[in-house]
Structure 1
């Protein structure tokens, strides 16, 4: 049979394939309220573990996340999930030794950087861009910074902390060298506190063994 001849079998097979493909693309995954609560629980657990947000801040974030779903769980259900994660973390911290926590060493390193003129912030802002915008209000041109954002802290379960380094409004010709200098100073400060810290471009990656930062306030 030539390639131009019509074959009913081939046509039928092609139609079946096409129909199956369209069906797969059209199939939508519907999230239930329980699915949404599972996401809320995961986010709340990460935020609470970081130890930089109050109960109200965690709850506010959880409610915002839940509201994005078509089948949104009730506010009461969301609050119960957040309360559970908060109480579980509080109980665990009651048995922990804060002095053995890496957050103490990070805070000491950041305090030392502050004395050297580097604005070091832990759990600062929702992202690097917003953090830089806030720092521009208090730092002069060329001001150096090292910050860990809230989303960065929420990744602590992976056993690492990312410190984002930079220089505000630096002269373009000197910007790269200035940032390298800040990165080097951050690595040195963290290493001096006994932490495993390594430069990674404009960031510093810190290996975290234990994080037992106390909750900022009782709920």
Structure 2
């Protein structure tokens, strides 16, 4: 490097690269489950994995721009959003013995394997419901559709489907009770679909 190289202005970033990065950052911000620092780390990993020529300062500016834009949008949201209704239904289910978790684990397989660890020690729990991180990412869509996994803890032999479906009905009723559109055929082989939703979860 020559003696004057450090005084050179950096090469301008390809606007198509910036547009791609911004679009991806919006997909992380819109569901509302990540804080600003987590989004920034995701963006760094995405940039590095794709070999994008974007500096840390420019990347941080992009994240902050998207974050501020979402905060500005929140000012026009209704007092009670679809995201609030889902959270209220999950809170009610959790209090009534159905362990309910949002944005839980990376995928359904891991969620089913780990949900038993979420059972509280101070009260009985008969079943569970959750959506995983891949489901949460799809909440950036407009309209959004949320797919829920559910089941029973400690099922009786020969009654697994029956008892899973009983939990499914409780979940369906809790969501419908919040005024949410729910689609489910009543079979334990089918996940519960909530939607279409206007997903507006406030940033922390």
Give the 3 Å change call, closer, same or farther, for CA 129–38 of structure 1 in structure 2: farther
Corresponding residue number in structure 2 for 1:147? 130
The superposition leaves residues 157-186 of structure 1 with CA deviations (integer Å, 9 ceiling, x where unpaired) of 142111222345646633222222222211
Shift of 1:199: 1.4
Find the residue that maps to 1:166 and give its secondary structure.
Answer: strand
- Greater Rg, structure 1 or structure 2? 1
- Flag structure 1 segments of 5+ consecutive residues without an equivalent: 1-31
Given that 1:146 and 1:163 are in contact with CA atoms closer than 8 Å, whether structure 2 keeps it comes out as yes
User: More displaced, 162-171 or 105-114?
Assistant: 162-171
What is the TM-score with the length of structure 1 in the denominator?
A: 0.72
Of 36, 47, 50, the residue aligned with 2:28 is: 47
Corresponding residue number in structure 2 for 1:96? 77
- Establish whether residue 186 from structure 1 lines up as the match of residue 182 from structure 2: no
User: More displaced, 69-78 or 117-126?
Assistant: 69-78
Given that 1:183 and 1:204 are in contact with CA atoms closer than 8 Å, whether structure 2 keeps it comes out as yes
What is the TM-score with the length of structure 2 in the denominator?
A: 0.77
- Establish whether residue 80 from structure 1 lines up as the match of residue 65 from structure 2: no
Please identify runs of 4+ aligned residues in structure 1 that moved more than 4 A: 32-37, 168-172
Corresponding residue number in structure 2 for 1:22? none
Give the 3 Å change call, closer, same or farther, for CA 69–193 of structure 1 in structure 2: same
Corresponding residue number in structure 2 for 1:134? 114
Distance 2:17 2:85 in 1: 36
Distance 1:198 1:70 in 2: 42
Distance 1:177 1:33 in 2: 56
Find the residue that maps to 1:165 and give its secondary structure.
Answer: strand
Find the residue that maps to 2:150 and give its secondary structure.
Answer: strand
Corresponding residue number in structure 2 for 1:21? none
Shift of 1:61: 1.5
Distance 1:40 1:104 in 2: 29
Shift of 1:45: 1.0
CA RMSD of aligned residues (A): 2.7
Distance 2:147 2:20 in 1: 23
Shift of 1:120: 0.9
Distance 2:64 2:86 in 1: 28
Corresponding residue number in structure 2 for 1:18? none
